[in-house]
Structure formats: structure tokens, C-alpha cells
Structure 1
Amino acid sequence: MKVYIESYGCTFNKADGQIIAGILQENEIDIVDSIEKADVIIVNTCYVKLPTENKITYRIQKLQKDFPDKKIIIGGCMVEIDAEKLDKIAPDCSWIGPHQLNKSAKIVEATYCGNVVREYGFSKESKVNVPKLVDDGLIHIIQICEGCLGVCTFCCTRFARGPLNSYPIADIKEEARKAIENGACEIQLTAQDTAAFGRDSGEKLSDLIKEVANLDGDFRIRVGMMHPKNILNDVDEIIDAMKHPKVYDFIHLPVQSGSDKVLSDMRRGHTVNQYLDVVSKFRKEIPDLTLAVDIIVGYPTETDDDFKSTIELLENIKPSLIHLSKYQHRKGAVSSSLPEIPHEVMKKRSKLLSEIKSKITEEENKDLVGSVQKVLVVEKGSKGGFIAKTDSYIPVIVDDAKLGTCVKVKITEATSTYLKSQLLE
């Protein structure tokens, strides 16, 4: 029996796909690199945005049409968020819910034999120290907790991932240790909200970062997205932990809007001033910090003045990375009951923010041209060369280097998304 897996969406979901593959491999089920070689296809879905939903829906339907003789299993967030639609477009497909990965082998074997098996619903099963099939071993993803404490009105992912379930620091540290011994040079600590880690178990993100950073080996740690609301209780300790030389000077801190009114409507649980205070503290203690933010354009209650406040916020903090999303209704989300703003208004605001985004990020990167950087080479580039990361987690293109090594480069060119470099040693 041969299985092909394709995963969509966030780092966390990618790790789910690696766990599915690891469990199958442990049960002597072959993982193949193309659909043509496979008997069973697993589509590990993302459902965070409407364009993603449309892409996933089209993909499932196309696979059924193009490969009628192959068995198909649907995994990921769509299983929990929109079972009604999934059953309609793929009535003969089995399901693996994101909390039921330990049953992957059983589901695959039953599906291969012609049965439709659907396992879903929440579970407290740990996703640490379980079988995992990693692509190259250089970048190792560890899911430190699943679920969140948020009640954001626009989000449907929380319906798929459920309430917060943190995994023990000792277990996470042990998985990191094994990964580093096996050649990993980058450990990615991921979650729906890493700042919520331990709020249900009495442990703290700052302690987790320190424990992993103090492991032996030459590696770097990337800490995943943190909700501003949940970082407030431990901000000084987290900053102290992130000063460790093995931790990238990088935070992903979504703000979503620069308007307190819209943040309240979104039920984000923090104000603009609280957000600015956190950013200020980080930048004071970590001067070379790369700040990544998320912005939702056109939330249903966003007025022209609210939008102007978002522009002012971005021009004030000048983040290194800006992830923009046009607001769209999501299944089950509270805000989906509100009327959307006119499409032309949404389009105009999105275009303006995109221009501001490009200007800010390109200027940020241009400041690095001519500088000498120590970078970690983490993967091959899709168009040749290699991709390395600065200590601030900025991507740098290196023409020739050895994967997994730290090299010195001179930055020769900058774009809004990456840097080009010349190898110095």
C-alpha cells in the first residue's frame, strides 16, 4: 500500500502532516512522492480564509475527477469546521480529524480496503515525541500546544483546534534534543498561540524557550505566533528568554487593526496602547528585532477613521513583515452575521495597505545592504542557490553554501521580501 500526502496552510498543519506520515511509516505503509504512485491520497486541509476554502474545495473535487480509482482521505481543519460541505463534495471520502492523527494507519488501511471511515472530535493526545517523517531534518517543527484561549469574532480555526492543550516542557525539550542530535539546525516552536502555552498546565513559554535554548548543539529557535493579549502576563520573562543567542530575534505579533473600537468588536482582548507597549519593550531589549504583524483589512465595523488608525499604527511601528488579509466571512464565526463592507471600499483599502507594506519592508531591508551578516543556511532555494536566515530571521539568498552551516555574507541587494548576498567565507 502506498500513500501520498499533501498538506496546506500553517506550520502547525504541516507538522500534522509529518505526524500522519510518521505513523504510517511506523506501520510499514509506504509514503510516496507523487499521486501517480499512490493507492491512497491524503489531503491535509487548511480552512483559515475563504480563498483557501475555495482552493481546498477545488482540489478535492479535481482529485476525485482525475483519479477515480484512488482512495481519498480528508484531514485537517475542514473536517472539524465544515463537515456538512465536506460530506456534500466528497461523500465517499474518509476523514482524519486533526485530533485523531494516532488513528491514521487504521483509517488508511480501512479506506484502502474500500471502507469509508471518519474519525473526528477533540482529544488530549499529545503531538510531542510521536513518530514524525520530516522532509530533510534541518528544520524541525515542534507543536508546543494546540488550541487557544481566544474568542476572536472572525476566526473559524479555533473551532477546529479546540480549547488550549499544552504539552509538558520536559517532553518538548526531549523531542528538540533528539532532533538536534539527528542534524536539525532550526527548531520551530509552533502553536495557534505560543503565548498561551502553559496557561492550562502551570508552565510558561519563557521557561520553555530557555530549556530548549540551553540544549547542546549549534542551532536556532524560531518562536511562533504570539497573541498580544496573552504575552502581557509574561512579557519581561519572554524577552529575557529570547535574548539567548540561539533564539532568532523575531516575533510574530498579530495586531489585526490599529483601532481600539475594531479590536473591541473583534474581541481581541488588547488595546493599541498595550500592543505598542509590548513592541516598545521588545525593541528596547532586542534592537535588531524583526517584527511580523497581521492586519485584517475591511472588518465589517471598520470605518474610514478606523482604517486611518491602522495606517498610522503601521507607519509608527514600521514592522519588517506585514501579512495582509481582506476580511471575509468564515463558517461559524460571530462576525459572519454582520454585513460586509462594499467590495470597492475593501479593494481600495487593501491596495493602499499593500503599497504601504511594500514601502516599509523594502526600506527596512535596504538598510541592511552593505552589512556583513552571520547567516544559518536552512534550505535549498526553489530557483537555485540556498536560503539562509539572519539572526533576525530575515531570508537571505546565498549562491553556494553547505546546508546546516553558519556562514558570513555581505548583503548586496534588497527586495521587500528577501536579501541577496555575497559569500565571504
Structure 2
Amino acid sequence: MRVHIETYGCTRNKADAEIMEALLLKAGYEIAELDSAEYVVVNTCAVKDPTEKHMSKRIKELIDSGKRVIVTGCLPHVNPDAIDERASGILGVKSIDRIVEAIQLAEKGEKLISVEGWKERSIDKLELPRIWKGGVVFVVPISEGCLNACTYCATRFARGVLKSYKPELIVKWVKEALAKGYKEIQLSSEDTGCYGFDIGTNLAKLLDEITAIEGDFRVRVGMMNPNNAIKILDELVEVYKDEKIYKFLHLPVQSGDNEILRKMGRTYTVEEFEEIVKEFRKHIKDLNLNTDIIVGFPGESEEAFQNTVELVKRIKPDKINVSRFSPRPGTLAAKMEGQIVGWKVKERSRYLHRLRLSISYEINKRYIGREVEVLTHSPGEKGGIEGRTMNYKDIILPDAPIGEFVRVKVTKATSTYLMGKL
């Protein structure tokens, strides 16, 4: 029996897909290309309304083409009604260990739906097998769920409350990945900033353990929310000084207006966000600051939006992920008064995106002529070799060995990437 897995969304989903692949291979299934597969596992994302619509359409397309489809990921939790009723099985994010059972039952004409009861079901995904695909980058999930209750977020309906994985298991996976030749470890979670709060440790302590591992490798720390990062700020800044940690900080602010942050359920202030940025920049040279901003949140006045614009101009992030607010099923924000009309949301989004590109270009231009260390990743989509600098900026080289640390000179800059040569 041949099975194809399509994965969408975050690095957590990619790790979940590798777990399912390993379980299927162990059970004797063949992981195949789409054309030759009888079954397709669609590992879904449902973070935004447009993404959900794309997932729903894709599931229908596959079924109409004659494929038998098993749906996994966040969509079964967020909006099960968006899933075609002809799907052969539906698994929630904490039921991926039942993927073999789902296909076996489908073969008998039965349909496994394992979504309800996810709050009671607890699996430690680091104790499940993973497929080793090779390459430069290996994703290590460090926890699942979070401690926040953002009023716009539907992902928490899928991932639940924080469950941190044991540090010794995380370290074991990192060591095994390095032994297999991986050079970059990506620590993944809904919020790395709250890692360990439920088991008596924290992210900084985990990073200390990982950086103590022998070898030449780099660690990319995933997104952390300000309200949790600030609790361990001094420890975090100190461990970030280690050469094995990319000087990359993904710290989503979401709004530059404290009243909007309150309505979003974000339990920090603009001032606290800026304090974190200030401390990191004070001690970490060439910090690559990434942030996320949602425009058009219910009740966002012109003044509130301008507060966000002014914050962006003050802190000058290297990159901003700009999202237009889209109401998600079951969230408090979907029912709030003061929903912003679509054209105004688009207008604000476009303005902020243009501002972001301008700031990014000004920052990236400063790298021209500099010599930097780069870890090469893979062939670029438009030619050349793609790599990452030690502060995780994307750089394209004409040619270079893949999976190696190389010294390069930056020759050109755009808003989104650098170019260089050996």
C-alpha cells in the first residue's frame, strides 16, 4: 500500500509528518509520490481563514481525483465542518500515532475519527519514531501547546495547554541528529518562551544543555511570546551569547497599542516588548529581530494603527510578518464589536508591508562589503546555493558546498535576502 503525505503550516506539522512517515514505514507501507499513492494524508494548517479555505479545497480535489484521504493536523480541531465528509479518516494533532490504524480501518470500509477527548489524551512525541530524511536542518519539537489565551487564536484549540518534553529526550534527539550529519537544529513549539514552566525548568536552561553538546552546529530558537520571554530575560540574553545559538529573535508584538493588546489577550505591554528588544540588542551584536503584527483587529482605531506604525519606526525590525485579522471559529475575537471593513484592513496591511520592506532594505544594505560566516542549506529556487548567516539572514551564493560553514563576502542586498560570494 502506497501513502503520500502532504504537510502544510508550521515546523511542528513537519515534525509530525516525519513521525507519521516512520510509523507507516514500520508497518510496511510505502511512502510514495502523489501520482502513485492510494492514500494521501493531508496534514493541515488552520491558522487563518484563507489557509482553512485552501485546506478544504485541497481535500476535496484529492478525493475527486480518486484518492482516499486521511485528514490530520489542526483543521479537525478548529473547523471540522470544513472537511469533506468523504474523507476516509480524521485524526487530531494528538492522535497522529494512530495513522496506521486509520488506514487499516479505512481498508475495511470503516472510518477512524480521533479528535474528541484530545485534552485527556497525552502522547510524548519525542518517544515516537521519526524518519531521517537527511539534509542540513532537523526540527526538534520541545513542547506542545502554550500558556496563553489569545482571543484571536484557534491553534490553541488543537494544541492545547503547555506540555513540555523532557530535557533529556530533547538533548538525545539533538545528539542523534548531529551524529547523522545535520548541522542546524530548529527548536520548535507554539511558544518556546514558556518551555519548561510546567516541569520546573525553562528555555535558557535547555539551551545551556544543548550548547554544551560537542560539535560545530547551530541552533535556531523558534518564536517566543514577550510575556514569557521577559520572565527569563537575563538568562536568555546570556545563553544567546553562545556561538552555537543563531542571533535570531522571533518576538511577536502583534500590535503597538496597549489597548488592542489587552483585547487580544496578550498579557504584556508595548513597553515590556521594547524592554526585551533593548536588552537583546544591548548584548547581542547584529541581532536579527523578527516580529509579527496583526492589522485590522476589532476596535483598531486610526490612532491605534498609528501607534503600531510608530513602534515599527522606533524598533526597526529586520522582518515583520504582517497578517490581516481574520475571525477564526470559536474565538472571542470573532464575536467582538468593531470589526474593521475589509478595504481598510487591506490598506493598513499594504502600508505596513511597504514600511517593512523599506526598513529591511536599509538594514540589509549595511551588510554589503562585510565578510560573514554562512551555513549553506540547499540549492536556491532560482539558482545558486541558499544559506544562512550566523544571525539567520537568508543569503544566496553563486556556488558553494552544501551543509558546510563558509566565509563569504556580501556583495548585494535586497529587502528579503543578501547575496554573496566565497
TM-score by length of structure 2 reads 0.97
Question: Structure 1 residues 309-318 or 131-140, which shifts more?
Answer: 131-140
Cα deviation 1:95-153 (Å, max 9, x = unaligned): 12110121122212222343211122423211114211243342110110000001101
Question: Where do residues 45-194 of structure 1 align in structure 2 (5 Å cutoff)?
Answer: 45-66=44-65, 68=66, 70-86=67-83, 89-120=84-115, 121-122=117-118, 123-194=121-192
Amino acid at match of 1:19: I
Which residue number in structure 2 is paired with residue 3 of structure 1?
A: 3
Could you tell me which residue of structure 1 aligns to residue 325 of structure 2?
A: 327
Which of 138-147 and 112-121 deviates more?
112-121
2:28 alignment partner, SS class:
coil
Q: Tell me the alpha carbon deviations over residues 266-315 of structure 1, each in whole angstroms, 9 at most, x when there is no partner.
A: 11000000000010000001021100000001101100000000000000
Amino acid across the alignment from 1:115:
E
Counterpart of 1:405?
404
Q: Secondary structure at the match of 2:231?
A: coil
Answer yes or no: is the 8 Å Cα contact 1:71–1:112 preserved in 2: no
C-alpha contact (below 8 Å) 2:254/2:292 kept by paired residues? yes
Identity, % of aligned pairs? 38
Give the whole-Å Cα distance in 1 for the aligned partners of 2:247 and 2:52: 33
Distance in structure 2 (CA, Å) of the matches to 1:299 and 1:273 = 20
Determine the C-alpha separation between the residues in 2 that align with 1:373 and 1:137: 22
Partners of 1:129 and 1:220 in 2: CA distance: 24
**What is the 5 A alignment of 1:13-412?**
13-32=13-32, 34-66=33-65, 68=66, 70-86=67-83, 89-120=84-115, 121-122=117-118, 123-339=121-337, 340-412=339-411
- Secondary structure of 2:242's partner? coil
| Alignment-mate amino acid for residue 395 of structure 2 | V
Look up the equivalent residue of 2:330 and give its one-letter code: G
Q: Secondary structure at the match of 1:316?
A: helix
Structure 1 SS opposite 2:4 = strand
Count of residue pairs brought into register by the alignment: 418
* Residue matched to 1:419: 418
2: distance between equivalents of 1:114 and 1:71?
Answer: 11
Aligned equivalents of 2:42 and 2:404: distance in 1? 34
Q: In structure 2, how many angstroms separate the alpha carbons of the residues matched to 1:157 and 1:83?
A: 13
The TM-score with structure 1 as length reference comes to 0.96
Is residue 135–residue 403 contact of structure 2 (8 Å, CA) maintained in 1? Answer: no
Q: Deviations over 1:61-90 (max 9, x none)?
A: 111112x2x31100000011112332xx23
Q: Deviation per CA, 1:202-250: give whole Å up to 9, x if none.
A: 1111011111111111110000000100111101101111111011000
SS of residue paired to 1:233 = helix
Q: SS state of the match for residue 321, structure 2?
A: strand
> Is this contact kept in 2: 1:129–1:174, CA < 8 A?
no
Alpha-carbon distance between aligned partners in 2 of 1:92 and 1:355, rounded to the nearest angstrom:
41
Q: What secondary structure is seen at the aligned counterpart in 2 of 1:187?
A: strand
Amino acid at match of 1:390: T
What amino acid is the match of 1:78? L
- For 2:220, give the aligned amino acid: R
Cα separation, 2, equivalents of 1:417 and 1:218? 27
Secondary structure of 2:126's aligned partner: coil
Query: How far apart are 1:155 and its partner, in Å?
Result: 0.5
In the aligned structure 2, how far is the partner of 1:51 from the partner of 1:29? 33
In structure 1, the residue corresponding to 2:97 is in which secondary structure?
helix
The farther-off stretch of 116-125 and 358-367 is 116-125
Root mean square deviation, CA, Å: 1.2
Equivalents in 1 of 2:230, 2:379: separation in Å?
37
For 1:72 and 1:155, how far apart are their aligned partners in 2?
27
Could you say what secondary structure the match of 1:179 adopts? helix
Instruction: In structure 1, give the amino acid aligned to 2:72.
Output: G
